[in-house]
Amino acid sequence: MKYFIASDIHGYPEYCRKILDAYDREQADRLVLLGDLLYFGPRNPLGSTYDPKGVIALLNERKNDLLCVRGNCDSDVDQMVLEFPIMADYAVLSLGKRLVYCTHGHVWNPSHLPSLKEGDILLTGHTHVVACEDLPEG
């Protein structure tokens, strides 16, 4: 199975469309979204293209392709308008002998690790910074 990973759409349809277009180009089997789908939080100003209803429409059309986890900006109200589950704090995927632990990053992250074995993978969003690193054992 081929997974496409993305995070932190924050209610902007243009970014959601870019993600969906890339997902289609890559011909992945499942789109894993690591939270913060519709809202940006009260501390942040909203941009002129902020349109959570547009994101809702785009994602609901693809609900059968999605595996999502909850971000720190996602809420029960968001779940009421989305036609796929988003409220789990994490999801675990099996990749052969490895586990892939998918979470937003505001609870579990490289500084606060879940139980992982050597070779397991931790996927997080939250920071808006792309990184790939080997984590220390233990």
Strand partners, 99: 94
- Tell me if 75 sits within 8 A of 104, measured CB to CB: no
> Does the pLDDT of residue 4 top 80, yes or no?
yes
> Does the pLDDT of residue 8 top 80, yes or no?
yes
Instruction: Give the residue ranges of DSSP H helices in the chain.
Output: 13-26, 52-61, 76-81
Out of 3.40.1670.10, 3.60.21.10, 3.40.50.300, 3.40.50.620, the CATH code matching 3-93 is: 3.60.21.10
Cβ burial, residue 8 (10 Å; 0-12/13-18/19+): buried
- Mean pLDDT throughout 17-38? 98
Strand partners, 90: 103
> CA 104: distance to chain centroid?
6
Collapse the DSSP code of 67 into the 3-class scheme (helix H, G, I; strand E, B; otherwise coil) and give the result: strand
- Mean pLDDT throughout 56-85? 97
Q: What is the pLDDT of residue 136?
A: 64
Q: What is the pLDDT of residue 118?
A: 86
- Tell me if 65 sits within 8 A of 4, measured CB to CB: no
pLDDT interval class at 135 (50, 70, 90): low
CA distance 79 to 68: 11
Q: Quote the mean pLDDT of the chain.
A: 91
- If one counts every other C-beta atom within 10 angstroms of the C-beta of residue 90, the result is 17
- Per residue in 51-65, pLDDT (tens digit) is 999 999 999 999 999
The residue assigned the tokens 């606060």 is 112
- Per residue in 89-134, pLDDT (tens digit) is 999 999 889 999 999 988 887 777 788 888 888 999 988 777 677 7
Q: Which of 47, 35, 3, 15 is nearest to 126 (CA)?
A: 35
